[in-house]
Amino acid sequence: MTVMGVTQILIYLAALVALAKPLGAYMARVYEGSPLWLEKAFGPIERLIYRLSGIDPRAEMAWRTYAAAMLLFNLAGMAVLYLLLRMQGRLPLNPQHMGAMRPDTAFNIAASFSTNTNWQNYSGEASLSYLTQMAGLTVHNFLSAATGMAILAALIRGLKRRLCATVGNFWFDLVRGTLYILLPLSLAFALFLVSQGVVQTFRPYARAALVEGGQPQTIALGPAASQIAIKQLGTNGGGFFNANSAHPFENPTPLSNFFEVLAILVISAALCHTLGEMVGDARQGWALLAAMMIVFVGLLAVCLWAEQAGNPRLAALGVDPRALEAEGGDPLWTQAGGNMEGKETRFGIANSVLWATATTAASNGSVNSMHDSYTPLGGLIPMLMMQLGEVIFGGVGSGLYGMLLFVIVTVFLAGLMVGRTPEYLGKKIGAYEMKMASLGILVPALLVLGGTALGVMNASALAGRANPGAHGLSEILYAFSSMANNNGSAFAGLDANRPFYNLLGGMAMLIGRYWVAIPTLAIAGSLARKRTVPQGPGTLPTHGPLFVCLLIAVVLIVGALTFLPALALGPIVEQLRMMGG
């Protein structure tokens, strides 16, 4: 760990916490329907969309109606994206003449982008037309994010309302989340990214005569900035180019990197404060943010240590892995050192590791370094982050509602210990809520381990591995951890564009998304109908350090109990072999 590296990480954490309060308070106003300054600009568009779609945004919905609207909207979007991918060869804005995607590939992409996963079994610059990137993927980057935030808004209303049969209006939440949060932030962010060198053009790929001669270089271009802004903000993560945010046209400078990695977590972190604002007790939000932050910083430190230590096998060959800062007083003897395989020079170790941890803590999944080439222990951290269920920040909306499922389990456990009925924010937690929360927590875990087990028994799945031995198992385990938890990053050596991964993975993404979302809405509906009980001497306060510790323990114990055996066979055994020489 270098001084400059740690300094950059501390600045990052400070910026994240500083933004949580103002952005969180603003988002609370968006979902409460309070007047907003931005309504001057976007109000007419908002009203026009409601009118053209025949929607009364103030019509309250019971949770089943809310869920039906959400599911239908997502299903329709998925179907349209599938058709777009199949027909892109015959549609305009296709200067490189990209052809149709295979049916199994197209199904996987459609499932991936409509579930906010953005797992990519294709290479953007080699297979997608500009129209598909814009009208297909960019749209889903917005809508899947807005969907996650809407479900969270419904759950918060469920916590807050008393004796009420409804949880809000899905269309109202969807449109306001898009128009007043995601779109304005994306507009500003995209323009900033272009100023740094991210491309935004409809021109065909450029051809450059190389300085040293030989074959000219074809340089892929496209309308990238508009998509990258929302792919970071909406915890989507699907790269415009194959190398994602490691590609210099997606992430050209240290400044673009700082703001892109900030964008990964900023909305998810701020939503904790939105919860606190909306339930009228800011401490509740800060407690959840504190729990997330503690797990994040702890795992980040492990990853940073592992990657900065580097690969002893390469050091033995004569590589210098030390971090040098003007060694011997010579300013030119400077390098980040560490494990630089699959990392970019401008980011070095600290910025690569910070990104890897943030992108898997959130269900973003964009990468600025190649996780497959991390040291075994360094690569274990992103994998574990996903396996914890994407609740350490997590996806926008989905991260916090996932964390609230863990909160329900935590108050239930605490209630068992002291023999009281569990409560959260004045609502009694009953058997129904516990059942739904357990479903939401256990189903993704089952998909990860079940999918991996099927993978290691399938010849085609095994043939997709790029690395031998324990690392090959890690590739398959990482793939299902990523898809079932809607993350989208990969140990990208795995050749996943095979019917096995496309079909099983596509199903895992759909089940992992909606089998958590629907129980969450069911809980919202059930809590909204309940009365609030006054706090008594037996009430466990859910804003203090004791609760934060309990919550962290529950998240880690569930994650560790479920995945430790699998991790032992993958990254842990590989780390031991690497250290052993």
Task: Confirm or reject binding of residue 332 to other proteins (CB under 8 A).
Answer: yes
In terms of CB distance, is 206 or 416 closer to other proteins? 206
Which of the residues 311 through 330 are near other proteins (CB under 8 A)? Answer: 311, 313-314, 317-321, 324, 327, 330
Element (H, E) at 207: strand 206-208
How many angstroms separate the CA atoms of 329 and 401, rounded?
Answer: 52
Considering only residues 23 through 82, tell me which ones interact with other proteins, judged by CB under 8 A: 45, 49, 52-55, 64-65, 67-69, 71-73, 76-77, 80
Assign residue 469 a region (left: φ > 0; alpha: ψ between -120 and 50; beta: otherwise): left
Q: Does 95 bind other proteins (CB under 8 A)?
A: no
- Total binding residues toward other proteins, as defined by CB under 8 A: 136
Q: Which is nearer to other proteins, 216 or 545 (CB)?
A: 216
Nearer to other proteins, 115 or 542 (CB): 115
CB of 39 to other proteins, least distance (A): 16
197 versus 450: smaller Cβ distance to other proteins: 197
Q: Rule CB under 8 A: which of 531-550 touch other proteins?
A: none
Provide the residue type at 214 as one letter.
Answer: G
Q: Select from 129-137, 158-166, 275-283, 453-461 the region that touches other proteins (CB under 8 A).
A: 129-137
Of the candidate residues 177, 238, 276, 348, the single one contacting other proteins (CB under 8 A): 348
Contact by Cβ (8 Å): 94, 88: yes
CA atoms within 13 A on the CB side of 467: 20
Give the residue, chosen from 187, 533, 561, 564, that forms a contact with other proteins under the rule CB under 8 A: 187
**Based on CB atoms, which residue is closest to other proteins, 53 or 460?**
53
Task: Compare residues 139 and 386 and give the one whose CB is closer to other proteins.
Answer: 139
Torsions phi, psi of 168, nearest 5?
A: 115, -170
Tokens of 188: 């500003």
Q: Shortest Cβ distance from residue 95 to other proteins (Å)?
A: 13
* Nearest to other proteins of 323, 405 (CB atom): 323
Among 105, 120, 359, 373, binds other proteins (CB under 8 A): 373
β-strand 423-424 against 217-219: which pairing, if any? unpaired
CA distances from 21 to 224, 291, 339, 395 (A): 30, 16, 36, 18
- Which residues, numbered 432-471, are part of the site for other proteins (CB under 8 A)? 466-471
Neighbours of 53 (CB within 10 A): 10
3 state SS of 281: coil
Please report how close the Cβ of residue 170 comes to other proteins at its closest, in angstroms: 8
Does residue 143 bind other proteins (CB under 8 A)? yes
| Contact residues for 245 (Cβ-Cβ < 8 A; gap 6+) | 228, 232, 239, 251, 257, 260, 355, 366, 367, 368
List the alpha helices (DSSP H) in 217-281. 225-233, 254-279
- Candidates 110, 128, 190, 567; binder of other proteins (CB under 8 A) is 190
User: For the chain, how far is it from start to end, CA to CA, in angstroms?
Assistant: 23
* Residue 488 binds other proteins (CB under 8 A): no
Q: What angle do CA 125, 128, 131 make, to 5 degrees?
A: 120
Q: Which of 10, 551, 14, 553 is nearest to 287 (CA)?
A: 551
Of 291 and 381, which has the nearer Cβ to other proteins? 381
Nearest CA to 13 out of 207, 330, 298, 203 is that of 298
Please tell me the distance from the alpha carbon of residue 149 to that of residue 517, in angstroms, as a whole number: 11
Interface residue with other proteins among 157, 176, 343, 513 (CB under 8 A) is 343
Rg (C-alpha) for the chain, rounded Å, is 23
Among positions 559-578, residues that touch other proteins (CB under 8 A) are 574, 577-578
Q: How far is the CB of 285 from other proteins (least distance, A)?
A: 29
Residues of this chain, 105-124, that bind other proteins according to CB under 8 A: 123
Least separation, in Å, of the C-beta of 524 and other proteins?
Answer: 15
Q: Is residue 165 at the binding interface for other proteins, with CB under 8 A as the rule? A: no
